[in-house]
Chains A and B, each alone.
Chain A
C-alpha cells in the first residue's frame, strides 16, 4: 500500500512539472494579451495595421506597425535567401555524400556556429562586416539591413542544416538503394528521390528557420539601427519588431505607459506570427513521420 501511494505522489510531482512547462506557452499568450489590451483600447486596429508610421513615444504619437513588419521581413528575407539554400546544401552533403566518420566531425562544427551568442554576431555585423561591405558598396549606411541580414544568415544556417539533415536521414534506405540499382547517380538520388520523399520535413525545417530569423533580436538591434521606415532598401537602416522592443526597454519604461503597452502590442504581433509558423511546422513534420512509418 505504501509503495503505491509513493508511486502516485511521485507521478503527481512529475505531472505538475510537465504542467508548468506546458502552461508557459499559455502564460506567454495571456500576458501579452493582457498587457497589450490597453494599447488597443487607445489605438484602433485600422490605425495599427494601416498607418505608415511608427513612433509611439513621440509627440504626436503614430501607431502604424507596418514599418516594423517591413523591417522584420526585409532582414529575414536577406538572411533566409542565404541560409535556407546553404543549409539545404550542407544537409545533403552531410546526409548523402559523407561517411559516418566525416559527418561526426563536420556536423558538430556547424553546430558550433549556433553556439556563438547573438550579441557577439551583432558586434561582428556592425564593426567588421559593415565596414567591409562599405568598401565596395557605396551608399551603404552605417546601420543597414544587408549586413545584419547576412550575419543573421550565418546564425540560422546551423538550424536549417541540422533540421534538414534530420529530415533527409529519416528517408528509408531502401529508396536510395532502389534508385542506385536503376542506375541513378548519387546527386540524382539525392535530388530526385530523397528530397521529394523528405519534402514535408524539409518544409518544416524551412519554416522553423524563417521563424527563428523573425524572432532574432540582438544582431538587428545592434547592426540595423533604430529607425522604423517603410522602405525595402537593404542599404537603409531598419527597426525590426524585436529591435524596437529592445531599444525601448533599454530606457526607463514605466508600468502602464503607452511605451510599455506598445512593446507588448509589438510582441503580440511577433508571437502570433512565430507561434503559427511553429505549430504549422509541427503538423507538417508529424504528417511526414506518420507517412514514413506506414
Chain B
C-alpha cells in the first residue's frame, strides 16, 4: 500500500492517470480537513481580537446597557445557567429512562420499529420547530409564559435525542456475558440494570450529558421563538432565602435572556462598538462549548479504550 510515492514515468499512461487522480483526491480531502481546522482557528482568533477590549471582569458583572462600553452579560450568563440547569433536570432522567426502556425492554415488540422512527426523526427536527411547539404548548396551552421554566422544558425536549442516543450506545457496549452471569445468579431484570448495566455505562451516559449541555448552552432560535427578551436589567429571584424552607423556586417564573440571544442582539445592531461586545460574548460561548466537547471526546476515548 505504501507505493504512492513511486516514480510515475515507469507506468503506462492509464496507470499514470490513475495515480495522478489518486493523489489529487487525497490532497483535496486533506485540504478540506485543513480548511475546517483553519476555520475554527480563524474564528477563535478573530473573536478574541475583536472582543479583547471587552473581556474583563466588568463585562461579567454588568447588565446590558445602551452604552456599549458599559454593557455586560450578567443577566445573560445567569439566565443561561438557570435555563440549562432546568433543562438537564428534566432531560437527564427522562432520556436515560427512555433509552433503558428502548434497549432493554422493547427490543422486539411489534411497535419497536415505530418508536425507532419517532426517536430518529426527533433527532433531525430543526431546533426552531421545538420553539414553535413550546410557544403553542408551554406558553399558551399550559400558560407558563415566557419564563425560565418554559425555556428549560423547551431545551430539554431538544437535547432529549442526544441523551437517548448516547445512553443506548453506552448500554449496547456492556458485554453480554456480564448480563448473562448476573441473570444466571438469579438477579431480576431491575437488579441487573441497577447493579451492572447502569454503572457499566456510566461514562457513556455522562458523555451524552456533556454533549447535550454544550448543545443547550448554544441554542438560540427556540428561545427567541418562545419570547425570551433581549434587554433584561434584573436577575431572577434568588433561589436561597433567609426564611424556612430556605429554598425558593419562584425564579423559574421570571423572564430571562441567555448568552446566545444577548450576542445575537449585539450582532444585529448597526453600531460597530456593539460588535465588540458580541465578539467578546461569542468568544466566551465558543470557548465554553469547545471545552465541554473536548472533555466529552476525551471521556469517550477513555471509555472506548477501557472496553476494548
Contacts and interface: CB of A to CB of B under 8 A. Distances in A.
A3 B194 CA distance: 14
Contact of B119 (A22, A112, A186): A22
B267 A126 contact: yes
A15 B26 contact: no
Interface residues of B, number: 88
5 contacts: A7-B189, A28-B133, A32-B136, A89-B32, A277-B124
Contact of B33 (A90, A211, A242, A253): A90
A137 interface: no
B267 A104 contact: no
Interface stretch (B59-67, B81-89, B92-100): B92-100
Interface in A215-252: 215-218, 221-222, 242, 245-246, 249-250
Contacts of A14: 97-98, 100-101, 105
A1 interface: no
B190 to A, nearest CB: 5
B136 A35 contact: yes
A20 B26 contact: no
Chain A contact residues: over half helix, strand or loop, or mixed? helix
B303 to A, nearest CB: 13
B132 A246 contact: no
A154 interface: yes
A212 B36 CA distance: 18
Interface string A45-65: 000000000000000000000
Interface of B: 1, 18, 21-22, 25-26, 28-30, 32-33, 36-37, 39-40, 42-43, 46-47, 50, 93-95, 97-98, 100-102, 105-106, 115-122, 124-133, 135-137, 140-141, 157, 160, 164, 188-190, 214, 217-221, 224-227, 230, 260, 263-264, 267-268, 275, 278-279, 282, 285-286, 289-290, 292-294, 297, 301
Given A122-B267, A128-B46, A112 B290 contact: yes
A215 B122 contact: no
Contact of A123 (B224, B279, B292): B279
Given A112-B294, A246-B128, A279-B117, A222 B268 contact: yes
Given A112-B294, A246-B221, A274-B126, A187 B40 contact: no
A97 B119 CA distance: 33
A111 interface: yes
Contact of B263 (A6, A115, A119, A246): A119
Contact of B120 (A90, A185, A278): A278
Interface string A184-219: 011110000000000000000000100110111110
A267 B125 CA distance: 11
A217 B33 contact: no
A253 B93 CA distance: 34
Say whether chain B's binding surface is mostly helix, strand, loop, or mixed.
helix
Interface string A105-146: 010111111011111101110111000000000000000000
Contact of B293 (A111, A154, A216, A242): A111
A86 interface: yes
A185 B22 contact: yes
A27 B133 contact: yes
Contacts of A185: 18, 22
B37 A109 contact: yes
A282 B121 contact: yes
Contact of A249 (B39, B225, B275, B289): B225
A255 B140 contact: yes
